[in-house]
Amino acid sequence: MKTHSIISLALLSAISFTTQAKQHNETHRIGAQLQGGAAEYKSSSQDGDGVGSLYVYYNYQFDSIWALELGLNGGSEADDWDCKDITNDKFVCNRNDNLLFELDANKLDYNNFVVAAKGQYKITDNSHFYGKLGAQLYDYEIAQNSKKLKEDDGMGLFAEAGWQYDWDNGIALNIGWQYMDMGDLDTSSLAVGISYRF
C-alpha cells in the first residue's frame, strides 16, 4: 500500500509539471553519491556504528528552483581497519569488527527508495545551495553473522542539504549532508557526488 502511494505521488507530480518543464532546456539530471557517516538504533550511538552507502538518483527539473527527485540507496555497516607497517613495503591490516548499537550484532544492511522535492538557491552562475525533503521506503536488517537480530520496513523521512557546482557541459559535483529516518534506525551521512544534466 505504501509503495503504491509513493509511486502514484511521484507519477502525478511528474505529469503535472510536464508543461512547465518543456519550457526549459536540460530538465533531466542523473547522479550518484558516495556517503559515509553514522547510524543510531533506538538512540544508541557508539564508536564503530559507522555506515557507508551508494545513492543513485534522477531529477526532473520543472523550473529554475524546483525539481522532483527519485532515488535508490543501498548501505551497510562500515568497519574500521587497523593497519600496521611491518616493513618498508609491507602492511598488515585487520578489520575491527565492533559490535553494533550495543547489540550482539556485526552486520547492518539497508535499502531505500526515495521520493523528494529539491529546491536550489543560486549563489553564482554555476553554483548553488540545495535542499531536499521527502519520504523514503526503507528495508533494513541487523544481524550477527547469518543470524537476523532485527529487521524492519516502512516509510520514513528523507532530508539532504548541500552545495553544488554545475559546469556548462552538464557535469556537476556536490557535497552535502543526508539524513534518513527508518523508524528505530537513523542514518546521517556526508555525501559527495557527481551528476549529469541533459
Report pLDDT for 21. Answer: 38
By C-alpha distance, which of 67, 49, 46, 48 is closest to 58?
67
- Count the domains in the chain: 1
Question: What's the count of helices (H) and strands (E) in the chain, helices before strands?
Answer: 2, 10
H or E element: which one contains 38?
Answer: strand 28-41
The contacts of residue 7 (CB under 8 Å, 6+ apart) are none
- Contact 5/159 with Cβ under 8 angstroms? no
Query: Could you list the residue range(s) of the whole structural domain that residue 37 is in?
Result: 2-197
By C-alpha distance, which of 103, 105, 102, 56 is closest to 77?
105
Summarize pLDDT for 107-145 with one digit per residue, the tens: 999 999 999 999 999 999 999 999 999 999 999 999 998
Torsion over CA: 23, 56, 6, 50 (sign):
negative
Chain position carrying cell 528552483: 65
Summarize pLDDT for 66-91 with one digit per residue, the tens: 999 999 999 999 866 567 777 777 77
Q: Say how far apart CA 83 and CA 147 lie, in whole Å.
A: 29
**Residue 24, helix vs strand vs coil:** coil
CATH of the domain at 184: 2.40.160.20
- Contact 183/34 with Cβ under 8 angstroms? no
Name the pTM for this structure: 0.80
Lowest mean pLDDT among 9-18, 105-114, 156-165: 9-18
